[in-house]
Structure 1
Amino acid sequence: MKSYGPDSVLRDVLRNDQAAAVVHKYLPGIEEDWSRVQFLRGTLRQVTGFALPTRIDPAVCEALFAELASVPVAPAVEPVPEEQVPTPSSGYEATNVAAGSARTVFAESVPKWRIFELELHGPSHGNPFTDVDLSVEFRCGERTVTAHGFYDGDGVYRVRLMPDEEGIWSFRTGSNARSLSGISGTFHCAPAAPGDHGPVRVRDRFHFRYADGTRYLPLGTTSYAWTHQSEALEKQTLQSLADGPFNKIRMCVFPKSYIHNTEEPERYPYAGSPEEGWDFSRFDPGFFRHLEDRIERLGQLGIEADLILFHPYDRWGFSDMGPAADERYLRYVVARLAAHRNVWWSLANEYDLVWSKDADHWHRAAAVIRETDPHAHLIGNHNCVDLYDNSAEWVTHSSIQRPPERTAQWRAEWAKPVTLDEMGYEGDVEWGWGNLTPQEMVRRCWEGVVRGGYVTHGECFLDGENDVLWWSKGGLLKGESSARLAFLRTVMEQIPDDASGIDPLPSDFDFPTGGVAGRCLLTYFGLGQPGVRTFFLPAGQRWSVEVIDTWNMTITEVPGSHEGTVTVTLPGRPYLAVRLRVLEEDTA
């Protein structure tokens, strides 16, 4: 007799009345838990690792599995056949349709790193999302770049490119639809607009620069579902970002279902409805146009959009569409968005809680993105419990949910930039991850930076009956940490101009030191409050010494120049740092 056990999926167990009664006995209220939608896709082993009764009392877990072992598995529900990816047919349009006859619209000139868009007015019969394949080969000199097209509704197709080289570009379309195939033309790529630096790239192994070589020092924030709110709230979020210090934001493509995220969004990515279900073969172009507009507005503010492609907090089924629909979604999203210079790809928020995906899914997803993205934007994969294997060749930077103390070790282990994308949230919600004091939020950010990483702010303050938290919906920043992080960003930017970022440097056992070797040293004391600190500086160089109060946002210079052994008197309070910089005349 086959029975239920740790590897049974909760959704399947609950379909059996007898097994469901056992689950409800040992996990009362499991179906009312705000994580229910995630739990349903997990195995009982995964669910019991998170559900309160079994997490705090192993005996409850043992009793649950023992009783379930006596329940025979119900006859299997006829499995839904796995979707097969259709191959676009060469017969999509009749042979009497003239090749290349679609009407085209495009600009004759576009600045470097802005979006060149080829608009094609073509057929709309059948399902153009799946029936039509469209790509364009772009040439500039001897170089060739292929971009993929997408259907934007009402017979309109678009292909986008972010030209990264000045001069004349030519293009030629290829498609199984006769009217869309064989169309050619040229456009001019003009010099970049003032302030445009191109997409962000990894440079000097652990750091980032824009494509034009300008230094980029990420200081992020998180607002998962801000693009799924009302127009007024989204406008308020953009204003808060404009007024704030952040130059990167983590945000979801799909809507999110979680505590403080219970309302229905204003738009959905697919044709259909929550009541009637979704057609995963037909996208809603309006949803994606809205997302594109928000990404464009972020770009105007100098903010990178770290787009989360999958996440587990889902009551609509978008996290469990099946491999074929997942691939179709990725190709569509990348084709639409890759020409935006300020896009990063985050495969998941908490990949290890997306229980509907196996380990191979992430490698497949990365391969699809790399194949479809002609601009090779950055790719990472964020964790909950288990760090992702960031040694994977396609991972450009680690995206980590952890406190910052092991940052230098992660750099050494993966030889890649470390982005501490979730270190907890300043706020007052019930859960420990979301009620850090502002002092602790700032401390973690300073620790992460001095240890050679790049940090992300978070905020979770309750807002009375409005239920609008920055972490989930954006709106207003209410905490005390963001102003202090603006001060941190200023300090980060004051490293030598030719340095790509702050590296961890040899430190004493008690407090970390980072900076630029031999030129700029930054020691952070965090919760420590020494009254004095002695530094041993290289002989033959004179240094300036400054005491930085990271909370009160002051920098106090110690008079004179210093060399050799230097003892600095400190105020004897927490959240201080000391910065030592070689005087300019001694840097030659």
Structure 2
Amino acid sequence: MPTTVEQWDYIELTLEGTQAGNPFTEVTLAAEFVSDAGEQVGASGFYDGDGIYRIRFMPTVPGVWRYRTRSSDSELDGIEGAFTCLPANGDNHGPVRVRHQYHFAYADGTPYRPIGTTCYAWTHQEEELQEATLATLQDGPFNKLRMCVFPKYYQYNTNEPSYHAFEGSMEDGWDYERFNPLFFRHLERRIADLRALGIEADLILFHPYDRWGYDKMSAETDDRYLRYITARLSAYRNVWWSLANEYDLMRAKTTDDWERFAEVVTSHDPYDHLISIHNCIPFYDYTRPWITHCSVQRVDAYRTAENTDQWRQQWRKPIVIDECAYEGNIDWGWGNITGEEMVRRFWEGAVRGGYVGHGETYLHPQDILWWSKGGQLHGSSPARIGFLRTILEEGPEHGLNPLPSDWDVPRAGIEGEYYLYYFGFNQPSYRHFKLDPGVRYQVDVIDTWGMTVRTLDQTFEGNFRIDLPGKQYMAVRLIRVR
């Protein structure tokens, strides 16, 4: 084991122990970590096959840490050691947390604005396609990726995965008491790849699109799986937990099951990663205390991001519209909106104080659709979403919050300091603004589709008129001049 580790990275204890019986179910392993500053954290261990046991720990503060193991196996019990945690540097800002109620920041305080996309089953494709997905992400605007732990069986995605989570087979049956370490090692490798790109892995723990039986496991198996995956993955700083994609389509699960799952995950994750649950039609009760943010799917074919400010008031938590529909041209209405409409929904959500997610479903001769398999992006929205990301990063440090607006145009910002108006479908040739006298503003006319910012030569105060180009998808930004 190394003697030093960076803050918010992880250190791994690798131990050799018994292979007798079934170590997955018969051996317990954990360790207590204590810093020289008095911080104390318990971490669960896991069996990784071939007599190898591991405990992963993510130190949250610099300094010397000491540990001692606890195990039902005498060979693994009472092992002690120490290491030094060095301060984080570079792009390591720690795990993402909720900040200022409706927004996010990394653990070191650096603002984080989720600009997400969806590739449900990308880790279950051929290696070459997975590498292509990573290359696309490296060049793209996204800093969060929704992805399933288990493989997916659905339209355009019927191939068999390379690995399964349990020993056994479809033909002979799964041994739900024995995990397949190769499956989880592969998943970990891809989560680490995303971390290297600065991308959060929003892990979907259950989903209904299945033909292998993962969606209908027993309660005992469900809980064992959740304990195992949290032991393996909690130490990765870029992990988020999503209990389910479209929880309400998993007919075999009840609300009591989801509440129990939340308890298992949160009680076995010592680092309090972000956690939510995603709907198809009815919303989950997002006021539940374990839910850190609202992971929302559209509930109307057209009106989606326009609800963001109402949902903020209803649930008093960050609103992340992970599925607002997808840019594409398949037959389903959820997968054939235009790039213009995708970008419009992103902007509508942003000026109403939330965050919208991307997906893409353009037909492909080999059924390689980004939303499920990854690969390459073909749509027109990602570049414009990247432009919006720049606008957001130039905006208020603590995020955009909605402001009282005229009936026909939403706006966000900080009263008397910063305003962002978005005109969406409308195409005004000019606009009158009525602000307090004595405060002067720089005015930027933003073409959200053309990705241009035109700063007007003069500054303005009080009541003034701004000429606009008379086309859709324009925005105006007012920044106070000091």
Question: TM-score if structure 2 supplies the norm length?
Answer: 0.98
The aligned residue for residue 212 of structure 2 is: 316
Structure 1 residue 143 displacement after superposition = 1.8
Structure 1 residue 112 displacement after superposition = 0.6
Contact 1:202-1:209 at 8 Å conserved across structures: yes
1:441 equivalent among 342, 346, 351: 342
Cα offsets for 1:186-207 (capped at 9, x unmatched): 1110111311000000011001
Question: Which deviates more, 290-299 or 518-527?
Answer: 518-527
| Structure 1 residue ranges (4+ consecutive) displaced by more than 6 angstroms after TM superposition | none
Cα offsets for 1:556-579 (capped at 9, x unmatched): 112201100121111111111111
In structure 1, distance between residues paired with 2:418 and 2:321: 23
In structure 2, distance between residues paired with 1:158 and 1:319: 28
Matches within 5 A, 1:437-586: 437-464=338-365, 466-496=366-396, 499-583=397-481, 585=482
Contact 1:495-1:516 at 8 Å conserved across structures: no
In structure 2, distance between residues paired with 1:536 and 1:150: 62
Cα offsets for 1:409-433 (capped at 9, x unmatched): 1111111100010000000111011
The aligned residue for residue 30 of structure 2 is: 135
Cα offsets for 1:317-346 (capped at 9, x unmatched): 001111110000000000000000000000
Matches within 5 A, 1:16-31: none
In structure 2, distance between residues paired with 1:538 and 1:313: 55
Question: TM-score if structure 1 supplies the norm length?
Answer: 0.80
The aligned residue for residue 379 of structure 1 is: 275
The aligned residue for residue 299 of structure 1 is: 195
Structure 1 residue 134 displacement after superposition = 0.5
Contact 2:45-2:53 at 8 Å conserved across structures: yes
Q: State whether structure 2 residue 320 is matched by structure 1 residue 419.
A: yes
In structure 2, distance between residues paired with 1:196 and 1:386: 37
Q: State whether structure 2 residue 171 is matched by structure 1 residue 264.
A: no
Structure 1 residue 519 displacement after superposition = 1.5
Contact 2:416-2:439 at 8 Å conserved across structures: no
Cα offsets for 1:17-49 (capped at 9, x unmatched): xxxxxxxxxxxxxxxxxxxxxxxxxxxxxxxxx
Equivalent residue letter for 1:122 = G
The aligned residue for residue 209 of structure 1 is: 105
Matches within 5 A, 1:33-432: 106-140=1-35, 141-402=37-298, 403-432=304-333
Number of positions where the alignment pairs a residue of Structure 1 with one of Structure 2: 476
- Give the share of equivalent positions with the same residue, in percent: 56
Contact 1:537-1:564 at 8 Å conserved across structures: yes
SS of equivalent to 1:264? coil
Cα offsets for 1:511-533 (capped at 9, x unmatched): 11012332111111111111111
SS of equivalent to 2:55? strand
Contact 1:460-1:470 at 8 Å conserved across structures: yes
Equivalent residue letter for 1:201 = R
Structure 1 residue 376 displacement after superposition = 0.4
Equivalent residue letter for 1:461 = Y
Task: Give unpaired runs (5+ residues) of structure 2.
Answer: 299-303
In structure 2, distance between residues paired with 1:558 and 1:197: 36
Structure 1 residue 240 displacement after superposition = 0.2
Contact 2:64-2:82 at 8 Å conserved across structures: yes
Structure 1 residue 184 displacement after superposition = 0.7
The aligned residue for residue 15 of structure 1 is: none
SS of equivalent to 1:180? coil
Contact 1:271-1:279 at 8 Å conserved across structures: yes
Cα offsets for 1:2-29 (capped at 9, x unmatched): xxxxxxxxxxxxxxxxxxxxxxxxxxxx
Structure 1 residue 142 displacement after superposition = 1.8
SS of equivalent to 2:453? strand
SS of equivalent to 2:457? strand
Higher relative contact order (CA 8 A, sep 6+): 2
In structure 1, distance between residues paired with 2:53 and 2:133: 31
In structure 1, distance between residues paired with 2:415 and 2:92: 30
The aligned residue for residue 301 of structure 2 is: none
Structure 1 residue 275 displacement after superposition = 1.5
Equivalent residue letter for 1:414 = W
In structure 2, distance between residues paired with 1:510 and 1:183: 66
Structure 1 residue 506 displacement after superposition = 0.8
SS of equivalent to 1:548? strand
Cα offsets for 1:108-158 (capped at 9, x unmatched): 111111111111111111110000111100001322100000000000000
Structure 1 residue 381 displacement after superposition = 0.5
In structure 2, distance between residues paired with 1:122 and 1:342: 30
Contact 1:254-1:310 at 8 Å conserved across structures: yes
Contact 1:135-1:159 at 8 Å conserved across structures: yes
In structure 1, distance between residues paired with 2:174 and 2:369: 29
Cα offsets for 1:541-567 (capped at 9, x unmatched): 110111111111111112201100121
SS of equivalent to 1:169? strand
Equivalent residue letter for 2:335 = G
